[in-house]
Structure formats: C-alpha cells, structure tokens
Structure 1
Amino acid sequence: MTQETRVLYNDTCPVCRFEIDVYRRRAQAEGLPIRFDALDRAGDWGLTPDQAARSLHVWQDGRVLAGMAAFRALWATMPRWRWLARVTGWPVIRPLADLAYEHVAAPILYRAHLRRQRP
C-alpha cells in the first residue's frame, strides 16, 4: 500500500479517541501510511466540525467515506483488522452493521459530544 489513508475523527470523544489511539499505535508499529486528523482539521475535508463529529470519516483513493464504510476502509488497510472489514462487509452483516452504527452508536456518541460542548 503506497497511498495514504486519512482518518477524521472526534478527538473530543473519549470512546472515539480510545479507539483511534488503538488504530494509531498499530499503524505506527506497522509503518502504515495512515494519517489521523482531529475535528479541528474538518475544514480541510470540506466539512464543518459539527458534520465531522457525527461519524468517522476516511479519505481513501480520492474519496471521502463516512460511517461503517469509513471503518471498513480503515480496517482493510490494517493487516490485523482486515478480517473485521470482510465480516462487516458480508451481505447479511453489512446492512445490520450499517444500521447499528448509523442509528444507534453514532447518534449516541454525537449526543454525548453535544453535551460536552455545552458551557
């Protein structure tokens, strides 16, 4: 893999930060060309920080992916995580994983993000 993969994540979210730190350490240990951008870089992606906080985003092969598609793209670039990209891409699992992320996990994390932003 020679092209860089970029990940835009909510660094203010403790759950998101913990998970991304796991990926970051693995990517560094394996010398993978993955760059991790925090919410303050959302403008570089053509997104507002609020849009970026709603789900994980991955830039790969000239396109921006969001949600489970972003996770699958990230996992596919990481040798120890490729199996998860494959499993969550199976025809029966894919719609369930997408539904669980888009309608359960992401909204819960986003609402927690909004609570953290209140003065």
Structure 2
Amino acid sequence: MSDTLPSPVPHPADKLVSRPHVVYYNSACPVCDAGVCAMRDRIAEADVEWVDVHRNPERLVPLGLDLEDVRERLHVVDPSGHLQVGAPALLTTWSLQPRWGWLLKPLGWPGIRRLTSWAYVLFARQLYRWNRRQGHW
C-alpha cells in the first residue's frame, strides 16, 4: 500500500487563467476547420483555448449559446469575459497572430467595420447553408 496521495486533478477554470481567449468554432465545416487550423499554427497556445463545438457541444451550455448559432458564426470570449460574435470575433482571433495584427486594424475603423461585419454575415450565412446542404453536421 502506498502512502502517496494521487496527484490533484486540475480544475477546468485553471485552464482559463492561462488561456485568456476562448474561441468556439465548428470543425464539421471544412472551411471553418481549415481557417482555425491555420490560426492555431500561428497563435501561441497560451493565448487561446480552442473549443470545437462539433465534438464538444456541452461546452456551450454554461454560456447559454445555441449550437446552430455557433455553427453559423465564430464566437470568442475575450479575457474580460465579453462575448464577441461574427466579424468582431474573427478580427479578435486574427489579431492574436503576430504578423496579422497590424494589417487588420483598418478593418476595425467605423465605416470599414460596418462593411466588414456585413460581408462576414453574408459569407457566414451562405457557408452555413452550404454546410447544411452538404450534411456537414
């Protein structure tokens, strides 16, 4: 019989301390998955926790998020706990990439931000419909 205690199991909240941004994405969408894979290669692991809602839909329950909404648009919870959806979420995630941050600043300017959001919604809606037709769920 051993006198040693088992090592403690880390609490899920402990991971959030070291990963301030939480990105919720859908790996069942080949376009979304490719984009996230490219970003994962460029962003430090300590900066983001990547949550695949296709494989882990239960992770949406504490946030009150709907699975279909996250399948259609990227969702990010930033370090302050603020939920970002769509273009703002994408811009926040892209800005974590060292080489892309400066390039994306103009997309956040007032007039251009509105155009960026509109384009994102249009693209996301069409991509979502295409994924449903293809059976990527």
Under a length normalisation based on structure 2, what TM-score does the superposition of the two structures give? 0.73
Q: Paired residue for 1:58?
A: 76
Equivalent residues in 2 for 1:14-53, closer than 5 Å: 14-27=30-43, 30-39=44-53, 40=57, 41-53=59-71
Match of 2:127 in 1: 109
Q: Percent identity?
A: 32
Structure with higher Rg: it is 2
Q: Of residues 81, 103, 111 in structure 2, which corresponds to 1:92? A: 111
Aligned to 1:8: 24
* Aligned length in residues: 115
Distance 1:82 1:118, change over 3 A: closer
The one-letter amino acid of 1:7's match is: V
Q: Secondary structure at the match of 1:35?
A: strand
Deviation at 1:22, TM superposition (A): 0.5
Structure 1 contact 58–65 (Cα < 8 Å) conserved: yes
Cα-Cα RMSD = 2.1
Gapped regions of structure 1 (runs ≥ 5):
none
Question: Which residue identity lines up with residue 58 of structure 1 in the other structure?
Answer: V
